[in-house]
Chain A
């Protein structure tokens, strides 16, 4: 990113974000209180806050407390996500180095790749019902694509001179793969993890909106059915918040794991 060359004074730098943040809620609240936006279309921040406290302990009217919804969504997301990493990353790495692996895996992969993950939802319901397994499958289907692509690209981008150099030392194909290609590909692989995460979370909510009996997406759907805009908004906020938190955790892990690589990666 380019360095910020704008004029900055410390006061406005610190104050303006808060004005905007608080202002957002004030305007929202006022829109409802003055009746410009009817209550049937949107809940006020105060109502959403109230519902949040209420839903911490009250399972009504959608059948579960907030923590249960969040944990259900998280479990589905984590399982599907981990499965897509475990399958996608090795597959992509192998495809990047071994021509046979690419030849075998590429055609089916290219056929499946352009299908938006959401389009798998009806089939997944047929196969696995509306429970955990179906969601895990859908998340796996969408998370595996960026994992494969990034791992593949990472290996393909390995410096050819490093590979040639290893050949002069008599390194075998497998040694070059594990000792050179895989470490070279790591930064790209982590990029893929972030993309996969964002995709997985989005798709999960879509899947829960369509078919579920628990989860944050289900909370939103129930809000629509029961004409409860406060439930819809609470669900949206929880989805955003949880996604943001997971994103940050992955970011931390990545930074720790690639610390050594980044140090060197910038050099050559």
Chain B
């Protein structure tokens, strides 16, 4: 990790959803403060309906916090932008475009010349292990491959921060393990500041430099924080891995 530069900072972020013209108020996040350092892999763990996706969407700029601030490089964010790349839980590929066209989309929108963006997109397609599938259409790909395309696309756009919202939630267990390995490999090859949201403690321990757990009920609050010192690549059956996993499980209401 390079010098301790703070990349993303959430200061006392709260979010209240109002429904039926404000008569029903649902507090979703309460006073969340956290920092993500440059090139740090932060995993936010919590069960379903704990506000973790909302937190990520606030950082992405899709939602505005009811109170508090989100800063990127010390500047408050306002709305979504190319400096934050998002990988969604739902596969969000353009069904009418090839893998190549999907990966280079962000670059094309910025008006980059074809030759240059082909080169960049090709590099990241290779990085996520999809070389040979450049001309395939999304429906010809498996779920894991689709998310690889999503990761390649996010990387190709060279964001300052990568936001992943339960990206492997729709995959079967086997593919999920494989994609965790791949994510760790890709991240080690090209370091990025990552905020990764999941409900799996195992996934968190496997991937994270640091883990933040949220409380199991609304409104979401930061429960605790763990630094993971295990060397990479990690083994799911390593003794220390299991110990940490056990410890987090004990201290969380999650039964995963």
Contacts and interface: CB of A to CB of B under 8 A. Distances in A.
A260 B96 contact: yes
B187 interface: no
A169 B110 CA distance: 8
Interface stretch (B79-87, B192-200, B222-230, B246-254): B79-87
Contact of B92 (A161, A179, A263, A266): A161
A268 interface: yes
Interface string B154-165: 000100000000
B51 to A, nearest CB: 18
B95 A267 contact: yes
B95 A265 contact: yes
A112 interface: no
Given A175-B109, A266-B139, A267-B137, A168 B85 contact: yes
A158 to B, nearest CB: 11
Contacts, number: 72
Contacts of B139: 263-264, 266-268
Contacts of A261: 95-96
Nearest to A186: B96
Interface string B133-163: 0000111100000000000000001000000
B105 interface: yes
Contacts of B79: 167
A169 B157 contact: yes
Given A168-B85, A268-B91, A183 B138 contact: no
A249 B35 CA distance: 61
B138 A168 contact: no
A263 B139 CA distance: 7
A165 interface: yes
A166 interface: yes
Contacts of B105: 166, 169
A183 to B, nearest CB: 5
Nearest to B60: A168
B144 to A, nearest CB: 14
Contacts of A263: 137, 139
Interface in B37-60: 60
B236 interface: no
Interface string A178-192: 011001000000000
B95 A167 contact: no
Given A161-B90, A183-B96, A260-B96, A268 B85 contact: no
Nearest to A175: B109
Contacts of A170: 80-82, 106, 109-110
A50 interface: no
Contact of A268 (B62, B80, B84, B95): B95
A179 B84 CA distance: 21
Contacts of B17: none
Interface in B93-151: 93-97, 105-106, 109-110, 137-140
A260 B80 CA distance: 31
A179 B62 CA distance: 20
Contacts of B95: 261, 264-265, 267-268
B88 interface: yes
Contacts of A248: none
B138 A165 contact: no
Q: Which of B90, B92, B110 counts the most A-chain CB atoms under 10 A from its CB?
A: B92
Contacts of B62: 164, 167
B82 A168 contact: yes
B109 A169 contact: yes
A167 B92 contact: no
B93 to A, nearest CB: 7
Interface in A235-268: 260-261, 263-268
B80 A267 contact: no
Contacts of A183: 94, 96
Given A161-B88, A165-B86, A268 B109 contact: no
Interface in B12-37: none
Interface of A: 159, 161-162, 164-171, 175, 179-180, 183, 260-261, 263-268
Interface of B: 60-62, 79-82, 84-86, 88, 90-97, 105-106, 109-110, 137-140, 157
30 contacts: A161-B88, A164-B80, A164-B92, A165-B86, A166-B105, A166-B109, A167-B62, A167-B79, A167-B80, A168-B82, A168-B84, A169-B82, A169-B105, A169-B157, A170-B81, A175-B109, A180-B94, A183-B96, A263-B137, A264-B95, A264-B96, A264-B97, A264-B137, A264-B138, A264-B139, A265-B95, A267-B95, A268-B91, A268-B95, A268-B139
